[in-house]
Amino acid sequence: MLHLMSILLLLWKLKKSKSCVGISCRMQECYAIVFCLRYLDLFYQFISVYNTAMKVVFISSTFYLIFLMRFQPPVSATYDRTADSFPYEQYLLGPAAVLGFISAEEWSIPEIFWTASIWLESVSILPQLILLQQLREVENLTAEFVATMGAYRFFYILNWIYRYFAEGYVNWIGWLGGIVQTGLYVDFFYYYAMSKWYGQKLVLP
Amino acid sequence: EEDYKAHDEL
């Protein structure tokens, strides 16, 4: 739900402020790739209505966000591709593909794609955090958006702890990816919490 | 069916 909330928060921000300054479209592009790699089983595996519905929502909303930021005025007029410049193609996609192949539990396309999507998701926030560091001042709704993006994976970790003790569920790849992903947020969370605590605007060092 | 490990998480 936190993940869904972060997407809805971003959609609301784009519609309300009609601007995507401070928002990284490259991060959304990474997430679109993550979802496409991971949700291929939509075509051949039915787990539950909830599971299928959420996969469709995540894929469609992410592509819609990209469309808004890249091609739909007035939002796209405020998008600066030179500022949002983290070269994720070689820095993130490459290593995720290699790691996905090496660490896949079995060398089948779905498993390799799933594993690569876990590694890619764990670092997909980087373009967003780097863009915010350049801008330093973080607008309120953007701060909430990034905070929920960091929080959702932390709640997966809590669920993984529960599932390990309740049903012996083991998911080494997911666990490691989740720890990396949450770890990348820790310093943002610190500044976000401080800005909330002291009631000041969020400014990154 | 049990041989295919389905990823049941999003």
Give Cβ neighbours of residue A86 (< 8 Å, ≥ 6 apart). A24, A26, A126, A127, A130, A131
pLDDT at B2 over 60: no
* Nearest alpha carbon to residue A86 among A158, A6, A26, A1: A26
Residue of chain B whose Cα is closest to the Cα of A115: B7
Which mean pLDDT values do the consecutive 10-residue runs of chain A (205 residues) have? 97 97 98 98 95 98 98 98 96 98 96 98 97 95 96 97 96 97 96 97 95
Dihedral angle, C-alpha A64, A9, A117, A138, nearest 10 °: 110
Put simply, the chain B residues between 1 and 10 with a CB less than 8 A from any chain A CB are 5-10
The alpha-carbon gap from A55 to the nearest alpha carbon of chain B, in Å, equals: 7
* Among B5, B6, B10, beta carbon nearest to A55: B10
* Nearest alpha carbon to residue A32 among A3, A8, A65: A65
CB of A173 within 8 A of CB of A118?
A: yes
Contact B6 A58 (CB under 8 A): no
The alpha-carbon gap from B8 to the nearest alpha carbon of chain A, in Å, equals: 7
Q: Mean pLDDT across chain A, nearest whole number?
A: 97
Band of pLDDT at residue B3, cut at 50, 70 and 90: very low
Which chain B positions have a beta carbon within 8 Å of A6's beta carbon? none
* Among A45, A54, A105, beta carbon nearest to B10: A54
Contact B10 A3 (CB under 8 A): yes
Band of pLDDT at residue B4, cut at 50, 70 and 90: low
Give bridge partners of residue A138 from the DSSP assignment. A202
* Nearest alpha carbon to residue A32 among A10, A60, A54, A12: A60
Looking at the complex, does the CB of residue A2 fall below 8 Å from at least one CB of chain B? no
Contact B6 A54 (CB under 8 A): no
Interface pTM, i.e. ipTM = 0.80
Contact B6 A45 (CB under 8 A): yes
Can you tell me whether residue A105 is helix, strand or coil?
coil
